[in-house]
Amino acid sequence: MTARVKIDTIKNHRAVVTRHGGPDVLQMIEEELPEPQAGEVRVKVLAAGVSAYDLMFRSSGSLPGTPSVPFTLGTDIVGLVDKLGEGVTAIEPGQMVAGATFCFDGLGGYTETICLPDSEVVPVPLGVDPAQAVCLVANYLTAHMAMHETAGVQTGERILVHGAAGGVGTALLELGKLAGLEMYGTASGPKHDLVSALGATPIDYRTEDVVARIHTLTGDGVDVVFDPIGGARQLWRSRQALRKGGRLVWFGVAATKRVGLRVIPITMLTVGLLKLLRNGKRLLTIPDLGADNAWYRATLAELLNMLAAGKINPVVSKRVPLAESASAHELLERGEYAGRVVLVTDSYTESL
């Protein structure tokens, strides 16, 4: 575990991947505060999300898009704007914002201070917990995209969510309940209470035949399967759980955790083949969340308002100090979490 670094207000501290390997390659560095360029805002980070993707980029340099070491992980942040670059007028210093660092360019969210284009940040309403708000940026946007834009669910439809206790899975269940769906979710046994509490019938993918159980419970299968797991057998089985006319939405490769990165090309090939099959079932993939900035901003603002109004309640498994990001990764590797693990800075702790 990395030693805790004392916060110095005129310096920045961020966690960097020093070389590819285990959680211990995450080390804190101290540097000058970054200066916002024209069109950017500088944000004092309160909370930063940790995701399964981060573990892949940390452990291997072979994934497309991996920056050269040293680099900083993290796909999303919530923080307070503390300086504006030239030409920024729509945001005031002191405003709390949420933002994506998807195209992080080696400078992701595991940091005390970050500069982001003003187009990437969305104001956060007063009174929300930054650790919950940060869950909306990658996980809830992914869930919204998969459920509403890609699958186009209708009230009363039946869905099966794989990885239902995970970050995106819990988001799918929250949004699915609001959409009036009949929900089933796969998870390991200890996480079934959470899946039930979120409104779905839990199925233990480790001990049960998921396809048989779905057909027993529903008769002819579900309308939509959301699959963030990947792998040839998994995707084929997801397809078998569909009723005729159903949609399989694939959006991830959580199977890498169990079988390694080789599952990625196998998954891509399987997705391509299943898209070609024509027998009344469709395989759909989701677009890059950053591709349509207007959608990103409008949907994130809508989700933040839902959070402020108490309509959604993102599951934060643990808030881990930024300087202990290695222990957050250990937690993810052991699978001892549900929903999202969030890194918090000293500014977050002081704001409570």
Ligand X SMILES: NC(=O)c1ccc[n+]([C@@H]2O[C@H](COP(=O)([O-])OP(=O)(O)OC[C@H]3O[C@@H](n4cnc5c(N)ncnc54)[C@H](OP(=O)(O)O)[C@@H]3O)[C@@H](O)[C@H]2O)c1
The residues of the shown chain that bind ligand X, judged by CB under 6 A, are 51-53, 138-139, 142, 162-163, 165-169, 186-188, 191, 205, 228-229, 234, 251-254, 286, 289, 335
Contact present, 140 and 303 (Cβ < 8 Å):
yes
Shortest reach from residue 90's CB to ligand X, in Å: 26
Contact present, 98 and 111 (Cβ < 8 Å):
no
244 to 167, 225, 239, 325: CA distances (angstroms): 29, 12, 10, 45
* Choice between 151 and 286, CB closer to ligand X: 286
31 to 34, 194, 213, 274: CA distances (angstroms): 8, 41, 54, 49
* Choice between 285 and 351, CB closer to ligand X: 285
Shortest reach from residue 13's CB to ligand X, in Å: 25
* Choice between 12 and 270, CB closer to ligand X: 270
Shortest reach from residue 10's CB to ligand X, in Å: 35
Q: Read off φ and ψ for residue 312, nearest 5 degrees.
A: -130, 155
Question: Which one, of 123, 3, 74, lies nearest residue 340 by Cα?
Answer: 74
168 to 86, 141, 208, 279: CA distances (angstroms): 36, 9, 22, 29
* Choice between 84 and 175, CB closer to ligand X: 175
Which tokens is 243 given? 């009723």
* Choice between 13 and 318, CB closer to ligand X: 318
* Choice between 51 and 132, CB closer to ligand X: 51
Shortest reach from residue 11's CB to ligand X, in Å: 31
* Choice between 165 and 344, CB closer to ligand X: 165
Shortest reach from residue 245's CB to ligand X, in Å: 24
* Choice between 97 and 138, CB closer to ligand X: 138
Shortest reach from residue 140's CB to ligand X, in Å: 10
Q: Which residues contact 282 (CB under 8 A, 6 or more apart)?
A: 246, 247, 248
Shortest reach from residue 292's CB to ligand X, in Å: 13
Q: Read off φ and ψ for residue 173, nearest 5 degrees.
A: -65, -40
Shortest reach from residue 186's CB to ligand X, in Å: 4
- Given the DSSP bridges, would you call strands 242-250 and 282-285 parallel, antiparallel or unpaired? parallel
> For residue 295, how many C-alpha atoms fall within 13 Å in the half-sphere facing its CB?
12
Q: Any idea what DSSP says for residue 189? A: G
Write the burial class of residue 34 (CB in 10 Å: 0-12 exposed, 13-18 middle, 19+ buried): middle
* Choice between 169 and 246, CB closer to ligand X: 169
Distance CA 194, CA 211 (A): 21
Shortest reach from residue 38's CB to ligand X, in Å: 29
103-140 exposure pattern, b = at least 16 Cβ within 10 A, e = fewer = ebeebbbbbbbbbbbbebbbbbeeebbbbbbbbbbbbb
